[in-house]
Amino acid sequence: MAEYETIRFRQDGPKAYLTFNRPDVLNALNNHLIAEALDAVSRLSADTRVLVLRGAGGKAFAAGADLREMEKRTQWSEIDFGARRLLARKLETAPFPTVAAIDGFALGGGLELALACHLRIASANAVVGLPETRIGILPANGGTARLTRLVGRGRAMRMILLGERIDASEAERFGILDWVVDGDVFDGAVEALAERLSKLAPVSARAVIDTVSRSADMTIDHAIDYEHRWFQICLASAGKKEGVAAFLEKREPQFGPQPESDGF
């Protein structure tokens, strides 16, 4: 296993855990951390069925970009946003569920990575926001695009223009967070969610992720046609055979490994 300076990475069978590990600066995202995170996801085992992102220290998931680096970033160094955009897209297009487990602050680039994940679970002390306007920029790693799709134009406009920080309960009400749990049960809730997701039929999970992700940009007829094509793929999968058999035999299904794909 590779040694990292700014992240921790652990593979536990089908479950993988990537932890941002700069707690002294609230896990601020510098270029080195982004590069190490990309390296870690390139090392995921072929049978990975869920990836959980966390922040070390208990005070932050990630409190945005490292502002010492921000001083040196120019329009030319960030012409395509490079590695940061690639990491977000990998989280968003993974063929298995990706989960942001938010304990404390998820601000700026930290929230943008969480928004790229398929699911978000948070402790009750979580605080989220996109405060980039306070330093004269905008959230440009999918912040405006993903937040708008999630909460609607009005709420996204308000949150981003005013750089609002909102607490966990309001973020759950807005639809930014999928679950909010008390801090004393947060670790257990994250692990229970990872365990449950890791037991899904791989083709079925991939089909749901792909169809839900794409449907918002399609007409209703196109979206239904697209999901039906995935339905046909599921019908031919080992997961469908095992799932139906387990139901009829009144037992828990034992789904096989992730089928070979074109990479992550």
Q: Is 252 a catalytic residue?
A: no
Give yes or no for a contact between 239 and 204, defined as CB atoms under 8 angstroms apart.
yes
- Residues contacting residue 137 through CB under 8 Å, at least 6 positions apart: none
Element of type H or E holding 151 = helix 143-151
Give yes or no for a contact between 55 and 20, defined as CB atoms under 8 angstroms apart.
yes
Token match 């569920």: residue? 97
Residue 264 buriedness (CB in 10 A; 0-12 / 13-18 / 19+): middle
Beta strands in 21-97 (DSSP E): 50-55, 60-63
The token duo for 111 is 């929230």
Q: Which of 78, 132, 172, 227 is catalytic?
A: 132
Token match 């074109």: residue? 262
In angstroms, the CA 180 to CA 186 distance is 9
Q: Which of 3, 78, 112, 164 is catalytic?
A: 112
Token match 């920029």: residue? 137
In angstroms, the CA 110 to CA 113 distance is 5
Query: Could you give the count of Cα atoms lying within 13 Å of 246 in the half-sphere of its Cβ?
Result: 12
Q: Is 112 a catalytic residue?
A: yes
Active site residues: 112, 132
